[in-house]
Amino acid sequence: MSGTSQEPIGWIGCGVMGKSMCGHLLDAGHPVTVYSRTKSRADDLVARGAVWVDTPAEVAARANVVFTMVGFPSDVREVVLGERGTLVGARAGSILVDMTTSEPTLAQEISVAALARGLESIDAPVSGGDVGARNATLSIMIGGDAPAIERVRPLFEIMGKTIVRQGDAGAGQHAKMVNQVLIATLMIGVCEALLYAYRAGLDLETVLEAVSGGAAGSWSLTNYAPRMLKGDFEPGFFVEHFIKDMEIALGEARRMNLALPGLALAHELYLALRAQGGGRKGTQALLLALARLSDVTWEPRVSPATG
């Protein structure tokens, strides 16, 4: 496999991030075969030259490298290991790349099943949200055989900027859990800080200008706080998917006999947000659940100068 522009690619999953990621491969000149559970989500990609097929197995039959970017571990299991999954249709020598945030043990199970059929598999979850997907600046955390990863690296480089092998099968998923543990508690801090500033009557944009460049600065503060100020709680990453990630991490922590009370707290707060109807909002909507605890009605505060 050369990684040239003629490399036939398969893509499964056209959600908030997956559509942009697949679009970058199309723009780079790769022939792409696509499948999504909701066909209409792939319409734009098909209009740009992707070929639609009706099953994951058909995607795999037409591609040398098959990417999956779906929602939950159960979805990964269905599209890879199911009766019409990629494992059934893939040709010997092909590589299956799962970019979903999923379970390390499932990545290991897929690796064993793939090797038994003469295939390679890679777990390569990403961080960067919708912004990173659109701008091709994702961080990609990779588990799998090193030579296979190097064969796919030119494709990863089309979608992301930070591409690091973490170890064997499942290691990419473990690294993504580290990422999610960090984000979970950071989001509590961002939301609580903004609520404090809001109740204190400070100009929120001025506060952000002051703290973002100092020790308190973070990716979440830079990218999500401005959305909160505008009252924009649309998903760059769904709350319900983040809850799934935290539950995977908590399960792995229990298996390793680790106590992670900060993560457990974040999980409970996001469960409250989902119970309040926020499951399909973006993770920054945690602000709304925390505001409710203090009987704060959050109203967008954006100065006239910035709209």
Supply the residues annotated as catalytic: 176
Among positive and negative, which fits the CA dihedral 110, 242, 69, 174?
Answer: negative
Quote the distance between the C-alpha of residue 137 and its chain's center: 13
Residue type at 237 in one-letter notation = F
> Which amino acid type is present at position 114?
A
The C-alpha angle with vertex 159 and arms to 153 and 165, in degrees rounded to 5, equals 40
Burial class of residue 155, CB neighbours in 10 A (0-12, 13-18, 19+): buried
Taking phi over 0 as left and psi of -120 to 50 as alpha, with beta for the rest, 224 belongs to alpha
188 class by beta-carbon count within 10 Å (0-12 exposed, 13-18 middle, 19+ buried): middle
Identify the CA nearest to 105 among candidates 174, 16, 53: 174
143 phi/psi in degrees, rounded to 5: -125, 140
Q: What is the DSSP letter of 98?
A: E
